[in-house]
Amino acid sequence: MSNFSDFKNGSFAQSSPAMQKIRNKTITAEKFASMVKSGDWIYGCMVGTDAVAPRKAIFQRLGEGSDKLQNIEMWAVDNAFLGTDFGLRYDKEGKYHIQHQGFIHKGTKDAIKEGWQGFDWYQWGWSMHMNYQFARFYKKDKSQRIADWGIATIAKPEGSYVNGSYGASNFMITAKTCKKFVCEIREDHAWCEPGRNVNLHVDNVDYFIEVDLLDPDFQYPRLDERAIKPSETEKKIAEHILSIMRDGDILQVGIGALPNAVVLAIADSDLKHLGVHTEMIGEWAFTLIEKGLIDNSRKSIDQGRCAWAYAVPFIPERYFEFMHHNPMFAAYDINYTNNFLTLSMVDNFMGIMSFAKMDIRGQVVSSCVAGRPISSTGGQFQFIVGGQLSKGGRAVLAATSRTPDGKSRIIGMLDRGDVVDVPSQFVSYVATEYGIVNLMACTDAEKARKLISIAHPDDREELEKEAAKLGIKTKHWMFDVCPDRRYPTADDLKDHKHGYMDLVIAPKGVSNPSS
């Protein structure tokens, strides 16, 4: 793989006015950091386009003295897989910087455990939070915008445009919320076809930064997602989820052993003509495309294309091979992929998400457990609601019945400090290794009874006692008289469209008396 210096020296850059502009604007990360002032706010893109070279250069300047930086605030820098230890390495006590971060990944958790104090969590919910943050930071007059600097990673520029590559999610939002926009160019990033809001004219970029891809700090951790082996428990959960799927479903899948178990189950099934409308694209989609199961032929919007918002190129060459100039993949900003209005137009949406714990009324905790942030809401809330708005749509919350330390994930009441990510009234399908249930339109007693039925058998008696303390009638005679509660099956709901529109009777217009 070539070094960025090849680009800067023009060895493979076409000779054009646009390319000359890029060369003229190209600086080192250290030069960029020298232009940053104490008290500046840095707005960064998130997963897939989280610029690492400029961030490292800023951290290296933190400290006491007139030639150092103090009071630096970093916003929306996800710090997911690149440079996760910069804060710990250069300013462990957080005396000179604060990083406002929504998602918490392993590197961040490790840094916090080791004493990093420069971390400020906020509840991040794509896409509504992006809208709120855009409203907070954006000004029509660029010189008045709230962030002093915006930083993002891009693919190698082509013609007069740059491309947000794997981070379409908030690439354009970053570009439009800062006084100065800086892009680092990575040759290992694919040029991802739009969608929308992923291409930007070079005139809208103030500086370009060189990146040495041989520097270990700038390399993604290599992870072969195909090698993630689900446990037998996770395979059982996948089988339950597969039981409510059908041909033509449009998938939203994440990363990890449980989503991988679902993908493997789908790969071994006879499902066909599947599609993709997702927040995160990755190996799961590549695998199902190679199997011939994903063709996007039955999508109601973006037909023939996988709609996605971000990717994490754990194996850069494989992601590049699949996504570079591939029109099958449509890169979109998060306000499209995660928008309720968009999801309402995606027929047969099938979202698969995980949770940390849930009470017997169906309140979902995924981001902050007992006062300890572990992640963020992300797109979970939108996709859960979107599954209800979609014609024939479904959204599944899945988890093992117990945590690794043996505690039940389904509990009587939430604990102090738990943050509710999805209110109970929006929750429909919930799956564990003991089954899958639908809570849609259920009463408290029905919800509790269903959730207890998929809890670990050794926890069910205690959950029944908890329900009784709360006055929830899980032992009522109604369950003996009508055990199925006349409840619709997944197949019964395949043509359901939220809004009971076929029942609406519009009033006749009233004639204008003056006419």
Tokens of residue 429, six digits: 């399908």
Q: What is the mean pLDDT of the chain?
A: 91
- For 14, other C-beta atoms within 10 Å of its C-beta total 9
64-68, 132-136, 172-176, 336-340: the lowest-pLDDT one: 132-136
pLDDT in tens, 323-345: 999 999 999 999 999 999 999 99
pLDDT in tens, 119-148: 998 876 655 666 777 888 899 999 999 999
Q: How many CA atoms lie within 13 A of 124 on its CB side?
A: 22
Architecture in CATH of 4-218: 3-Layer(aba) Sandwich (3.40)
Q: Kindly indicate the confidence band of residue 8, based on its pLDDT and cuts at 50, 70 and 90.
A: very low
- The more confident residue out of 217 and 429 is 429
Check: CB of residue 372 under 8 Å from CB of residue 366: no
Is pLDDT of 55 > 90?
A: yes
Nearest-angstrom CA–CA distance, 299 and 306? 10
CA dihedral 190, 196, 198, 203 (to 10 degrees): 130
User: E strands of 78-128, at which residues?
Assistant: 97-101, 119-121
Query: Is 279 known to be catalytic?
Result: yes
Alpha helices in 437-501 (DSSP H): 444-453, 457-469, 478-481
pLDDT tops 90 at residue 15: no
Share of the chain above pLDDT 90, in %: 73
**Amino acid symbol at 65:** G
In contact, 170 and 196? CB cutoff 8 Å: no
Query: What pLDDT, on the 0 to 100 scale, is given for residue 79?
Result: 63
- Give the active site residue among 234, 279, 446, 464: 279
Whether the per-residue pLDDT at 263 is higher than 60: the answer is yes
Q: Supply φ then ψ for residue 178, to 5 degrees.
A: -130, 155
Instruction: Give 466-479 pLDDT, tens digit per residue.
Output: 999 999 999 999 99
Per-residue pLDDT at 508: 65
- Distance between CA atoms of residues 458 and 207, nearest Å: 60
Would you say residue 4 has pLDDT above 80?
no
The pLDDT, as a whole number, for residue 438 is 98
Considering the chain, tell me which residue range(s) the CATH 3.40.1080.20 domain(s) occupy.
226-481
pLDDT at 1 over 70: no
Query: In Å, what is the CA distance from 234 to each residue of 22, 366, 369, 511?
Result: 49, 18, 22, 63
Take residue 176 and report the two structure tokens written for it: 């439009």
**Residues 268 and 247: beta-carbon distance below 8 Å:** no
Q: Which of 257, 295, 209 is nearest to 22 (CA)?
A: 209
Q: Calculate helix-pair angle for 283-290, 316-323, nearest 10 degrees.
A: 60
Angle among Cα 459, 463, 466 to the nearest 5 degrees reads 145
CA–CA separation, 372 and 158 (whole Å): 44
What pLDDT sits at residue 514?
61
Instruction: Read off the pLDDT of residues 72-99 as tens digits, 9 standing for 90 and up.
Output: 999 976 666 777 889 999 999 999 999 9
Kindly tell me if the per-residue pLDDT of 180 is higher than 80.
yes
Every domain range in the chain assigned CATH 3.40.1080.10: 4-218
pLDDT tier, 511 (very low <50, low <70, confident <90, very high otherwise): low
Residue 16 pLDDT > 50 = yes
Please report which helix (H) or strand (E) contains residue 58, including its range: helix 53-60
Question: What pLDDT score does 487 carry?
Answer: 95
Q: Mean of the pLDDT values across residues 296-303?
A: 98
Residue 261 has pLDDT above 60, yes or no: yes
What CATH architecture does domain 226-481 belong to?
A: 3-Layer(aba) Sandwich (3.40)
Give 416-454 pLDDT, tens digit per residue: 999 999 999 999 999 999 999 999 999 999 999 999 999
Measured CA to CA, the distance from residue 35 to residue 24 in angstroms comes to 17
Q: CA torsion, points 262, 266, 268, 273, in degrees to nearest 10?
A: -170
| Percent of the residues in the chain that have a pLDDT greater than 70, as a whole number | 91
In the predicted structure, residue 49 carries a pLDDT above the cut 70: yes
Rounded Cα distance between 6 and 212, Å, is 11
Q: Before 38, cis peptide (omega within 30)?
A: no
Q: How many CB atoms lie within 10 A of CB 506?
A: 5
* Segment 477-480 long-range contacts (CB within 8 Å, at least 24 positions apart): 478/445, 479/445, 479/449
Q: Residue 11: what pLDDT?
A: 44
8 A C-beta contact, residue 391 and residue 495: yes
The pLDDT of residue 2: 41
Distance CA 136, CA 335 (A): 16
What is the per-residue pLDDT across 343-387, written as a single tens digit (0 to 9) for each? 999 999 999 999 999 999 999 999 889 988 888 788 899 999 999
What share of residues in the chain are helix, strand, coil (percent, to 5)? 30, 20, 50
Arithmetic mean of pLDDT, 288-306? 98
